[in-house]
Structure 1
Amino acid sequence: MPLSDELKAFIVQRAHTLGFAQVGVARAEPLPAQGLLAWLHAGLHGGITYMDRDPDLRLDPRMLLPGAASVIVLSSNYYFPVEDKKDSARGIIARYARGDDYHTVLSAKLRQLVQEIRKHAPAAQTRIAVDSAPVLEKEWAHRSGIGWRGKHSCIISPQYGSWIFLSEIILDLELPADQPMEERCGSCRLCLDACPTGALIRPYVVDSRKCISAITQLKPDQPIPIEHQAAMGNHLFGCDLCQAICPWNQGQLPPTTEAGFSPRPYFTNPLLTDLAGWDEAQFLQRTSRSPIKKVKYAGFMRNVQVALRNGKQL
C-alpha cells in the first residue's frame, strides 16, 4: 500500500474513533470565484459581515497554509430523536444549538486528530477549521464526497441527512482524493416552499437578510426587522424549517453519539413565559458552553419578546 493510502486509512480510522461520522478528502486547489463573489456583491450575506472579509483566502486553501495539498473534511452527526411541539406558547431553538457549542467540541477533536497524524508524519503542517477560518466548508464537503449541497444550501449526507456539522484539516501532504457525490434532490422543492420569509430565493442561494436563523442571531442592540417579526413565529435561536421538511431528514436516522451534542432540557420545547422570567445570571449559567450565549442576554430576551407577541401572550 502506498504511504499516502496508508496515511489516509489511518486518518479515517482515527477520525471514526474520535467520533467523527464521515471523513472525505479533496485536493487543495483554488475554488471558482463566481458564486461567492456574486452572492457578496448582491449583499445577500446581510449581517454576516465576516463573509465579506478576505474572499481570496476563502477561495484558495494554499493561502491559508502554504504548500497545502489536501483538505480533509469531517462530518459530525448532531441529530437526536425528539419531537418539537407545535405550540406557540413554547419557543423553538435550532437543534444544533441545544447542546454544547460545536466549535469547542470539534476543535478539541481536530487537535487530537492532528496529533495522531503527526505520529505518522511528524513534519506535517496543518490548519484546522470549524467556522473559525475563511474556508468554504460546504464546497469542500461536496468535493470530498461527504454529501451534496441541498437546495436549502446545507450539505446532505445520505446516511445522516443534513443534521451534520462540518470541520476541516488542511494538510500539506497529498492524500488520495474522494469523488464528489452526485446531487440527489431532483425536482423536490419542499425546502424552498417551507421558508416563511422567502430567504431561499432560488435553489442553493440564501438571502441571509431574510433568513430566520440569521435574524435571531442579530447583535443584541439590533431590533428584529418589523417585516420579519411575524414570520419569526416562536423561533428564539436559529431555524430548522427548511431542514425539518427535507425527505432526507425523515425516518430512522442514527442519533448522535457525542454527549456534548445532547439537548439540554430547557432548550427543547421551553415555555416562553418561563424563559421571560430568566434573569441574566440564569441565562449565563444555562448558556455556558452553548452557542446561544453569542446573542447575549439582551438579544435572547429580545427574541423571547417577539415570540410572546407572536403567540398573543403580550
Structure 2
Amino acid sequence: MSSQFKNEIIEFSRKIGIDKIGFAPADPFVTMKERLRIQQEKGYASGFEKGSLEERTNPDLLLPEAKTIISIALAYPSKMKDAPRSVKGDRRGIFCRASWGEDYHHVLRRKLKQVEEFILQKDPRARCKEMVDTGELPDRAVAERAGIGWSGKNCAIITPEFGSYVYLGEMITTISFEEDVPLEEQCGTCNKCVDACPTGALVQGGQLDATKCIAFLTQTKTMLPKQYRKKLGNRLYGCDTCQTVCPENKGVDEHRHPEMEPDPEIVKPQLEPLLTMSNREFKEKFGRISGSWRGKKPIQRNAIIALAVFKEKASLPVLTKLMHEDPRPVIRGTAAWALSEIENSEDIYKEIDKAGSNENNEEAKTEMENALSFMKNAGEKSY
C-alpha cells in the first residue's frame, strides 16, 4: 500500500507543478546536529535560524510519531528577459535570483498544502507538518537525505536537472514511505565557488560563515561594517556569485512557473527613487517578493552603498538631503560615507561637517567624522 501510495503522491506532485519530490526517513539528523553545533561554536550562524539545536535536527519533536519527510523542489529562472541597463545618471540595483517573482515561501507552501490535502483524502488519520525555509529543519539536509540533490561546496543543494536554482520545502508525516536513495556528492576537486566568494564567507567547501555572507549582510539593519561595503556592489538583497560560477549551473535557465517570473523594474530597480519611498510605496512595489521581508531600511542602506560604488555624482543632492534629514541614524551615517566616496570636494566636506555638528547619534557621528578624515587624508587635502 505504501509503495502504491507513494507513486500516487509522486504522480499528483507532477500534476500540480512540483519539479522534484523525494522521501526520506524522519530519523534524527545526527551528522547535521554536530555541524550546526560547530557553526554555533565558531560564531558562523546568522541568527535567523528557528528553533533549538534539538528541534532543528529531530523531526519527532516537531511532529510526534514522525515517520517520513517528503522533500520538494521547484526550479526557478536564472535569466531575466528585457533587463534594464544600469547607466550613468540612472543607476540600478539588483535582487538575487531567489527573490525574483512571487515570494517562494508562499508558492511552496501552496504546493505542500495541496500534497497534504491529497494525503489526508487517502488517509484521514495521517498527520502532516510542512515548512519552507523558516521552519526548524534545515531544508538542504532534508533534500539531501531525500535524494533531491547533493550538498555542494557552495552550501546549496545541487540537482542533476536544475543545478542549484531550486527552491526547497518539506513536509513531515506520520506515514511510513519507502525512502529514496541520496545522491553522491559530485563537486569533486572543483573549488570555484569557494574561490569566487566576495567576502570569503565560504570558509571551505561546505562550510559557510553566514555572518560574512553577502546574502546575510544585505538583510542586516545596522550600519554595515566598512570592510564589506564595496563588496556589495549594486546588490540590494542576496548574492548569486557562488551559484553563477558553479559549472553545474552552466546553461541552466528554467521558466516553469509563471509566478516566479521576474518583473525587471522590481528586481532591478532604479536606486534613487528607492531612497525616498514611504513604507506604503515600498510595500506596494516590493511587498510581493521575498527580498522585502526585512522592510525598506536595509534595502535603502544598500542602495546608498551601491550609489557610492558607482560613484554616481548625480545622486549627491539626494544623499546630502538624507544625511541631514533622514530620521534613521544608519541612513544618515551611510549617506555621509557615500558622499565622501563619490566626491572629495570642499562643498561636500562642509556638508558632512555641518551634519556631524548637528548629529546626536554616536554611531552616525563617528561615520561622519571618519568620512571627514578620509577626505582630508586623500591626497592630503587641507579643508
TM-score range, shorter chain: over 0.9
Specify which of 72, 78, 87 is matched with residue 76 of structure 2: 78
Cα distance in 1, alignment partners of residues 106 and 48 from structure 2: 22
For residue 41 of structure 2, what is the amino acid of its counterpart?
H
Q: Distance in 2 between matches of 1:304 and 1:254?
A: 27
Q: Which residue of 2 aligns with 1:98?
A: 100
Q: What does residue 291 of structure 2 align with?
A: 292
Partners of 1:86 and 1:243 lie apart in 2 by: 22
Q: Which amino acid aligns with 1:283?
A: F
Letter paired with 1:262: E
Partners in 2 of 1:16 and 1:158 — Cα distance?
A: 17
1:234 and 2:234 correspond: yes
8 Å CA contact retained: 1:96, 1:261: no
- Which residue of 2 is the match for residue 50 of structure 1? 49
Q: SS where residue 50 of structure 1 aligns?
A: coil
- Are 2:162 and 1:160 equivalent residues in the alignment? yes
SS at match of 2:74: strand
Match of 1:15 among 10, 13, 26: 13
Distance across 2 between alignment mates of 1:111 and 1:218 = 31
Number of aligned residues: 307
Q: Among the aligned pairs, what percent are the same residue?
A: 33
Q: Residues 49 and 103 (structure 1 numbering): CA distance in 2 closer, same or farther, change over 3 Å?
A: closer
CA distance in 2: counterparts of 1:86 and 1:184, whole angstroms: 36
Equivalent AA in structure 1 for residue 42 of structure 2 = A
**Which residue does 2:259 correspond to in 1?**
260
- For the pair shown, the structure with the greater C-alpha radius of gyration is 2
The change in CA–CA distance for 1:254 and 1:241 in structure 2 (over 3 A counts) is closer
- Once residues 223 and 17 of structure 2 are traced to their aligned partners in structure 1, the CA distance between those partners, rounded to angstroms, is 39
SS in 2 for 1:209: helix
Q: Aligned letter for 2:176? A: E
Distance 1:129 1:254, change over 3 A: same
CA distance in 1, matches of 2:117, 2:259: 22
Q: Provide the residue aligned with 1:35 in structure 2.
A: 35
Residue aligned with 2:212, SS? coil
Whole-angstrom distance in 2 between the partners of 1:203 and 1:285: 39
> Which shifted more, 98-107 or 278-287?
278-287
1:24/1:146 contact within 8 Å kept = yes
Q: Which amino acid aligns with 2:285?
A: R
Q: Secondary structure at the match of 2:293?
A: helix
Structure 1 residue aligned with 2:280:
281
Contact 1:212 1:232 in 2 (8 A): yes
More helix by share: 2
Structure 1 residues 140, 69: CA separation in 2 closer, same or farther (over 3 Å shift)? same
Task: Measure the CA separation in 2 of the matches of 1:275 and 1:282.
Answer: 9
Q: CA deviation at 1:254?
A: 5.1
1:127 counterpart residue number: 129
Q: 1:256: Cα distance to partner?
A: 3.0
Q: Which runs of 5+ in 2 are unaligned?
A: 313-341, 343-383
CA positional deviation for 1:277:
5.2
- Equivalent positions of 1:195-210 (< 5 A) are 195-210=197-212
Whether 2:147 is the aligned partner of 1:145: answer yes
- Give ranges in structure 1 of 5+ residues lacking alignment: none
How far, CA to CA, are the matches of 2:48 and 2:106 in structure 1?
A: 22
Q: Larger relative contact order (C-alpha < 8 A, sep ≥ 6)?
A: 1
CA distance in 1, matches of 2:35, 2:249: 26
CA distance in 2, matches of 1:242, 1:194: 7
Q: Which amino acid aligns with 2:80?
A: V
For 1:63 and 1:224, how far apart are their aligned partners in 2?
A: 37
How far 1:91 sits from its partner (Å)? 1.3
1:237 corresponds to which letter in structure 2? Y
